[in-house]
């Protein structure tokens, strides 16, 4: 059985998921890992909420890169991290 997840979006925002904030979602070939790319202002902290069928509701605080204003949320069956 594969892990299922749902991107619930940015905590505390009226529009939790927008194309301006969440610019891409990709999976690896085996579909065991998903990478969600966020766009923001350099050094901005963005709380992102996901539901993972193994971990339940998870919130990660993503710090946008000082170089390009982006961050990646990586979802696997056992973890949700921001890099």
35-45 tens-digit pLDDT:
999 999 999 99
Find where tokens 């749902």 sit: 6
- Is the pTM for the entire model greater than 0.85? yes
- With beta carbons less than 8 A apart as the criterion, state whether 43 and 55 touch: no
Tell me the percentage of the chain whose pLDDT exceeds 90.
73
Question: What separation in angstroms does the CA of 51 have from each of 69, 72, 80?
Answer: 25, 16, 10
For residue 10, how many C-alpha atoms fall within 13 Å in the half-sphere facing its CB? 19
The model's pLDDT over 48-65, given as tens digits with 9 standing for 90+, comes to: 999 988 888 999 999 999
* Token pair listed for 83: 């890099």
User: Mean pLDDT throughout 29-40?
Assistant: 93
Average pLDDT, the chain: 92
Model confidence at 1: pLDDT above 60: no
How far is it, in rounded angstroms, from Cα 10 to Cα 61? Answer: 10
> What backbone torsions phi and psi does residue 8 show, to the nearest 5 degrees?
-90, -20
């Amino acid at each position: 059985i594969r892990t299922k997840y749902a991107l619930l979006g940015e905590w505390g925002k009226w529009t939790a998921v927008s194309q301006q904030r969440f610019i891409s979602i990709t999976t690896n070939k085996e579909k065991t890992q998903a990478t969600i790319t966020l766009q923001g202002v350099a050094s901005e902290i963005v709380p992102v909420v996901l539901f993972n069928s193994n971990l339940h509701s998870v919130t990660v605080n993503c710090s946008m890169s000082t170089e390009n204003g982006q961050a990646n949320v990586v979802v696997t069956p056992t973890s949700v991290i921001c890099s």
